[in-house]
Amino acid sequence: MKKFLIFIYLFSSFTFGTNTFAKTFYIGEEVKDFFSFNQYIKIKLKRGNWEVVRANTSNWGILQRVVGIARVENNEVMEMIEVYEGLLAGYYVGHVEPIITELVFHDKYDGCYERPEYFLLELYRKGSTFNCMIVRHMDVTKELNYPDDSTYGKAVASAYNNWIKKRSIKFPKIMLESHHSYFSRLTGGTWHEVRRYINPKLLSAPKSKFFSEEASEYHKVNISQYPKHQKTMSEWISLTSEFHKNFENMVNVKRKHKLNLNKFIDSTVSINSNNLMIDQLKKLNDLYKSGVLTKEEFEKAKKKILN
């Protein structure tokens, strides 16, 4: 989310009023049940404990912040959510909106326009208003170590790299990503973005053999050769579309600005945490049978998984 860094640089001398953020998040803080980012964005979280991995706030000029949280199972990253808000209401509209347009529609490395690595783009745009949903896969190794945008990409990756190194956490080489973004002066002038990332295991996806962005089975150019991966991507699109509709409601998207996403939604699709739970219980039972765990340790660990 390099807009955060760019806005700090360009508008460090401007003042946009006295609005403040409702809640402060701290690195390492545990988040359960709901990610209540602000008065608008409240995301229901799936089973398990989440941890704040990234938290940046700027009160210089444009008030903005970004918070990233992650969930780990068996010492492997399963899900991540990153939320951005920029409080852009107020003066200097003539200065702010051209920069938003540049970041969203003309950025060299990312944005709400068709790109080869995007699997699906749905967009409403009129004037400075835009409502954008992107679905794609992510080469995690690349994004963490050598992103296309070497300046801002590395700054964003540093928080996650520090967390991974500190906790010795494994991460999947490919994750599925969705991007949800809305801005309109008609709804108060706050720019909201949510990015979601999931481990394909959560959709019972087949194992991947190719891990670069271009060679991945999930790339739209390649995916027709891999029907099982194609099925997984279709499920992710369904879940992403459903989430985006909720996102639109959360941030009060005007009716005429909403995307037509019902065509992508399959109500039978859900993130499957049961398979992971069964796998955990099986491994736990094997440890108990082999004598590694006592009965008391086994029961205690089983209760933790089930709860």
List pLDDT tens digits, range 158-215: 989 999 999 999 999 999 999 999 999 998 889 999 999 999 999 999 999 999 999 9
Q: Which residues contact 177 (CB under 8 A, 6 or more apart)?
A: 134, 135, 136, 137, 138, 195, 196, 197
Give the model's pLDDT for residue 297: 80
Least confident interval from 33-37, 45-49, 172-176, 184-188? 45-49
Q: What is the mean pLDDT of residues 8-31?
A: 64
pLDDT above 70 for 117: yes
Q: What is the pTM of this model?
A: 0.84
Q: Which two tokens stand for residue 173?
A: 């080489």
Q: What is the mean pLDDT of residues 100-125?
A: 94
- Domains of the chain, residue spans: 3-272, 273-307
- Report residue 201: phi and psi, to 5°: -55, -30
Q: What is the mean pLDDT of residues 245-250?
A: 97
| Confidence band of 276 (pLDDT split at 50, 70, 90) | low
- Report residue 43: phi and psi, to 5°: -105, 125
Question: Closest Cα partner for 194 from 155, 149, 246?
Answer: 246
Give the model's pLDDT for residue 306: 59
> What span, in angstroms and rounded, lies between the C-alpha atoms of 78 and 170?
10
Per the rule left: phi > 0, alpha: psi between -120 and 50, beta: everything else, 261 is alpha
| Confidence band of 9 (pLDDT split at 50, 70, 90) | very low
Buried b (16+ CB within 10 A) or exposed e, 115-140: eebbbbbbbbeeebbbbbbbbbbbbb
| Confidence band of 2 (pLDDT split at 50, 70, 90) | low
Give the model's pLDDT for residue 15: 42
> What span, in angstroms and rounded, lies between the C-alpha atoms of 129 and 97?
10
Give the model's pLDDT for residue 14: 43
Q: Which two tokens stand for residue 90?
A: 């107020």
Q: What is the mean pLDDT of residues 297-305?
A: 73
pLDDT above 90 for 220: yes
Give the model's pLDDT for residue 13: 41
> What span, in angstroms and rounded, lies between the C-alpha atoms of 152 and 163?
18
DSSP 39: S
Helix, strand, or coil (residue 20): coil
Q: For the sheet containing 76-87, what is the strand order?
A: 30-31, 50-58, 63-73, 76-87, 190-198, 174-183, 129-139, 118-126
